[in-house]
Amino acid sequence: MVADYFNNYITLLAFILTGMVFLSLVLFLCRLVAPRNPIPDKFTTYECGMIPMGMYWSHFHVRYYIFALLFVIFKIGTVFLYPWAVLFRSLGLFGFVAIIIFWAILFPGLLYAWKKGVLKWV
């Protein structure tokens, strides 16, 4: 049982390693083949062909923090979706109703945010 468990993760490990090797290989080949001509203009921020104004780092309005908070709250909701999806068949209708109620309680929060104009991108 435990051996099976670790064998599954060896597949994951192989996947990660392949990704790392592939990425480094591509970047290395790129460096090998591409001509290098660093001129100052190349390092300016791209702004639709115009000369950029100010720094490339700028302040954002606090309002956008709410987007992040909404994201985190619904992400925590997905944590409960995951075990439910694993046992989906054996939980049956009861589990389905339970998860629907869970999201039905949470959903008015999104409606409230919408009503309050939080979702507007100003």
Partner 1 sequence: MEISTVQLVAFGIVTAIMLISALLVVTARNIVHAVFFLIVTLFCVAGYFILLLADFLAAVQILIYVGAVVVLIVFGLILTRARVGQAIPMEEVRQRLWAVLVSLVFFGGASYALLNEKWPVVSVEKMEVTTTSKIADTLFNTYVLPFQVTSVLLLAGLIGAIVLAMREEK
Sites of contact with partner 1 (CB under 8 A)? 1-6, 9, 55-73, 75-80, 82-84, 86-87, 91, 94-95, 98-99, 101-103, 105-106, 108-110, 112-113, 116, 118
Q: Which is nearer to partner 1, 32 or 55 (CB)?
A: 55
Q: Virtual CA dihedral for 80, 85, 86, 91, nearest 10 degrees?
A: 90
Nearest approach in angstroms of CB 32 to partner 1 is 25
Nearest approach in angstroms of CB 72 to partner 1 is 4
Give the chain's end-to-end CA distance (angstroms, integer).
Answer: 54
Other C-beta atoms closer than 10 Å to the C-beta of 44 total 10
Q: Which is nearer to partner 1, 29 or 119 (CB)?
A: 119
Q: Which is nearer to partner 1, 33 or 62 (CB)?
A: 62
Nearest approach in angstroms of CB 63 to partner 1 is 7
Long-range contacts of 7-14 (CB under 8 A, 24+ apart): none
Q: Virtual CA dihedral for 87, 89, 93, 94, nearest 10 degrees?
A: -30
Nearest approach in angstroms of CB 54 to partner 1 is 10
**How far apart are the C-alpha atoms of 71 and 69, rounded to whole Å?**
5
